[in-house]
Structure 1
């Protein structure tokens, strides 16, 4: 535990010279300013405004995750072709877990700013139609749903290249948008990039439907697959990382 704490401090020091920390602050703030400014004059109803903002937030995350993880991997590659990363701890997996914990913490902070900042800002535009607890749940769902994507994109960034990671992030964002429609019915639980947008859409509909009649038939399956898939992905990448020798394919 002490070694992990030292690795976390070292990784924070490394990030001070990059834009990664600031990106987690100014990107959600910029998004809030753009959306709230538009909503001041938009003729949409409150439900449409809130749904649109949260859906766009879900769709943009795969791209941002691809960019952030590739930047962190590139930093280690440029510093010494991953030699420093692989030799920074006696227990090799701790160096990876340190970076994963750090980027998840930054991602959680960014999510909280984006979601709760929207709740606060929207109260100055129109009356609240959803309680504060709903926004807390949205933030929690978004954070947990994206853990799998962080793990996946760390693997892509370390083993392949930033182009692969970002390119797949773009594809994932497009898929999440498509699977929000009827095209994703029954299929979305098997596409990790669509987990957050479907979970949050179901949550919004549940709060909107006072009778409680709405329910996505694939919701339970999606929750089970997301939990099991996230745990398995962490186990698999730790096992892979302990045997990885720093090979990188740019093809």
Structure 2
């Protein structure tokens, strides 16, 4: 808990907390405005919700890249990561706390985005909102792990650039191009999971939903565990230098 408090304190006077509150609200209001003045207004309510959630999942890597870059830049400017490495004797606790803070901020901002849209749009139930929130957050876990490692190891610029590339991949994966391969691409999980849920709940036979989620779990759980464990092992041996150094 002391390590977590320390991590939150580091972010207190930065734009990171504000970004996690303001950006979700702006996104929800902007999408609602677009849905009211464009051809989206002719769509079914659940189709509009599906598009909102899919786009939310698709832009996640960009936000993730920017946030993790800022968090890592704070550590780099504080004695070249020496504060992070000397916070506790257990490097695994230091790394896990950094990741947990990012994920808690992610959970908060996603909750704001979904809740705000539910308030202004008013067609989705609490159950739909809750399931969508869980799917977006669970789908984004591996993305945050990847970006934290990339930011620390390769630098902020690489993380931000990777975020834009991943968002492009996520947008392409929404089409038929991603139907058979999205399970293996972490940056597509959030958008495809919520899309699968919205489509599957419309069907009388939920076997499609069960099949897709089961297939994803078989693939995603091992990938996520490998990413997390590999990151911990790497961080345990890391000497505090970027590749560029």
Instruction: Give the TM-score, by structure 2 length.
Output: 0.93
Contact between 1:175 and 1:193, CA under 8 Å: does it hold in 2? yes
Contact between 1:202 and 1:216, CA under 8 Å: does it hold in 2? no
Q: Which residue of 1 aligns with 2:25?
A: 29
Match among 38, 44, 49 for residue 42 of structure 2: 44
Match among 2, 12, 16 for residue 20 of structure 1: 16
Worse overlay, 210-219 or 227-236: 210-219
Unaligned 5+ residue runs, structure 2? none
CA RMSD of aligned residues (A): 1.7
Q: Which residue of 1 aligns with 2:129?
A: 135
Q: Does structure 1 residue 78 correspond to structure 2 residue 77?
A: yes
**1:13 to partner: Cα distance:** 1.3
Q: Which residue of 2 aligns with 1:208?
A: 202
**1:211 to partner: Cα distance:** 4.3
Q: Which residue of 1 aligns with 2:149?
A: 155
Corresponding residue SS for 2:74:
helix
Whole-Å separation in 2 of the counterparts to 1:215 and 1:89: 44
Corresponding residue SS for 2:42:
coil
Whole-Å separation in 2 of the counterparts to 1:136 and 1:91: 35
Q: Deviations over 1:33-76 (max 9, x none)?
A: 11122223343312332122111101110010011111101110
Q: Deviations over 1:97-131 (max 9, x none)?
A: 111111100100001111122112211xxxx2x43
Whole-Å separation in 2 of the counterparts to 1:192 and 1:14: 28
Q: Which residue of 2 aligns with 1:104?
A: 103
Whole-Å separation in 2 of the counterparts to 1:213 and 1:97: 37
Q: Deviations over 1:3-36 (max 9, x none)?
A: xx11111111111111111110000011111112
**1:228 to partner: Cα distance:** 1.8
Pair 215,90 (structure 1): closer, same or farther in 2 beyond 3 Å: closer
Pair 215,93 (structure 1): closer, same or farther in 2 beyond 3 Å: closer
**1:163 to partner: Cα distance:** 1.0
Whole-Å separation in 1 of the counterparts to 2:9 and 2:208: 48
Whole-Å separation in 1 of the counterparts to 2:211 and 2:154: 37
Q: Does structure 1 residue 232 correspond to structure 2 residue 230?
A: no
Corresponding residue SS for 2:37:
coil
**1:218 to partner: Cα distance:** 4.8
Instruction: Give the TM-score, by structure 1 length.
Output: 0.91
Whole-Å separation in 2 of the counterparts to 1:106 and 1:55: 20
Whole-Å separation in 2 of the counterparts to 1:212 and 1:93: 41
Q: Does structure 1 residue 192 correspond to structure 2 residue 192?
A: no
